[in-house]
Every structure is written in structure tokens, then in C-alpha cells.
């Protein structure tokens, strides 16, 4: 396994964690809150963003304008059933989501959710490290690399692991700050 592949996979884990962070509310309207919402469209779960244009006209409102007006009710239902905790208002043309200010209890729940996403990202990076180290040890056992090269590669893999876990921790700190600042 090449070190570049390991780095690439770890970077993907960091980006996935960042996307997960974007789905957490911070008290301001943000279209990425709806990234995980799937709408039943002709019997197929479809991402909301491929069925409608999503805008944030102000800091406390998200508007969802479906490309096909017949999907309004399915969009409204999908948002109601999702875990974002917002009530959709359907006026026949557009679905509006009003973002209420967060209570301190709700903020703490979101901080816990962010911590959970960060831990999932860290675990993903550690799994990549484990697989890479096993691969290097197998190469050493098969005589493809020397013992010193193996140790050096494992050290490099550990350095990469530390670097990417630090990135996740930094993003977590930023997200916690976003959530807790009123």
C-alpha cells in the first residue's frame, strides 16, 4: 500500500466528517442542513437537492422551490420525518423552513452530535492506519521490504494519522464554537 493512497483515504475521511458537521444546525439558516434529506420520488429515495432549488433568503429562513410542483407534499413529508427538527410550511409554491434560535439545551445536543461525528471520523482514520500497517507488515514478512523500511513506513503512516486526526479535532473545535456562540 502506497503512502499517497493512505493520505488520500485519510483526507477523504476528513472531508466526510466536514460534510457531516455541515448537517448540524448552528442557529443560522444553511442549505447544507438538508443534505441528508431523502425524498420518496416515484418510489425511489432521491436527495432533496436534486429535486428542488434550496435558498437562504435571510439568516432564519430556508426556502425550497421544487422543480416539479407535484413533489411539494413529498418534500414536506420527507422534511417532517427527517432528524433536522424543523417544521416545513407549504404555501403551494414553496416550502419554507423557519430556523428558531437554539436553546442552550439544544446547543449542547448539537455539540454532542458534532463530537460523535468527529469520533466516527477518527475511527475511520484509525481503521485506514490499521489496514496500511497490516499491509506493510505483510510486505515485510514476504521479504518485499526490509525491517528498517517497514519501521520507517509505519512511522510515516502514524505521522499521517496524527496529522489528519488533528485536522478533525480542529474542525470539531470550530463547529463547537459555531454552535455555542449565540
**Looking at residue 12, what is its pLDDT?**
95
Please state which of the four CATH numbers 2.60.40.1120, 3.30.1360.40, 1.10.730.10, 3.40.50.970 is assigned to the domain occupying 28-98.
3.30.1360.40
Task: Give the Cα separation of 13 and 31 in Å (integer).
Answer: 22
C-alpha closest to that of 24 among 123, 120, 102, 122: 102
Contact (CB, 8 A) for 179 and 110:
yes
Long-range own/partner contacts, residues 3-9 (CB < 8 A, 24 or more apart): 3/153, 3/156, 3/157, 3/160, 6/128, 6/129, 6/132, 6/157, 6/160, 7/160, 9/128
- Tens of pLDDT, residue by residue over 118-157, are 999 999 999 999 999 999 999 999 999 999 999 999 999 9
Instruction: Sketch the domain layout of the chain as residue ranges.
Output: 3-21+103-180, 28-98
- Residues paired with 89 in a beta bridge: 96
Helix axes 3-22, 104-141, angle to 10 degrees: 170
The span from the CA of 99 to the CA of 58, in Å, is 10
pLDDT at 172 over 90: yes
- Higher-confidence residue of 60 and 171: namely 171
pLDDT band at 168 (very low <50, low <70, confident <90, very high): very high
pLDDT tens, position by position, 10-69: 999 999 999 888 878 777 777 888 888 888 888 889 898 888 999 888 888 889 999 988
Task: Return the SS3 of 56.
Answer: strand
Sheet hosting strand 88-90, strand order edge to edge: 52-58, 61-66, 95-98, 88-90
Distance CA 181, CA 113 (A): 16
3-21+103-180 folds as Topoisomerase I; Chain A, domain 4 (1.10.132)
Q: What is the pTM of this model?
A: 0.72
Which residue would you say has higher pLDDT here, 94 or 28?
94
Please say if the pLDDT value at position 182 is more than 80: no
Amino acid at each position: 500500500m502506497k503512502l499517497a493512497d493512505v493520505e488520500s483515504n485519510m483526507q477523504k475521511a476528513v472531508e466526510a466528517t466536514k460534510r457531516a458537521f455541515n448537517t448540524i444546525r448552528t442557529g443560522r439558516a444553511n442549505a447544507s442542513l438538508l443534505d441528508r434529506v431523502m425524498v420518496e420520488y416515484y418510489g425511489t429515495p432521491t436527495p432533496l437537492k436534486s429535486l428542488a432549488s434550496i435558498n437562504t433568503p435571510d439568516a432564519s429562513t430556508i426556502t425550497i422551490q421544487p422543480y416539479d410542483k407535484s413533489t411539494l407534499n413529498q418534500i414536506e413529508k420527507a422534511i417532517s420525518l427527517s432528524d433536522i427538527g424543523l417544521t416545513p410550511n407549504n404555501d403551494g409554491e414553496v416550502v419554507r423552513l423557519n430556523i428558531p434560535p437554539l436553546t442552550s439545551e439544544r446547543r449542547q445536543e448539537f455539540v454532542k452530535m458534532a463530537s460523535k461525528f468527529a469520533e466516527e471520523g477518527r475511527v475511520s482514520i484509525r481503521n485506514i492506519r490499521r489496514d496500511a500497517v497490516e499491509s506493510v507488515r505483510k510486505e515485510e514478512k514476504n521479504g518485499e521490504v526490509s525491517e528498517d523500511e517497514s519501521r520507517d513506513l509505519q512511522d510515516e503512516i502514524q505521522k499521517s494519522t496524527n496529522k489528519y486526526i488533528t485536522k478533525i479535532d480542529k474542525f470539531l473545535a470550530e463547529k463547537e464554537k459555531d454552535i455555542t456562540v449565540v
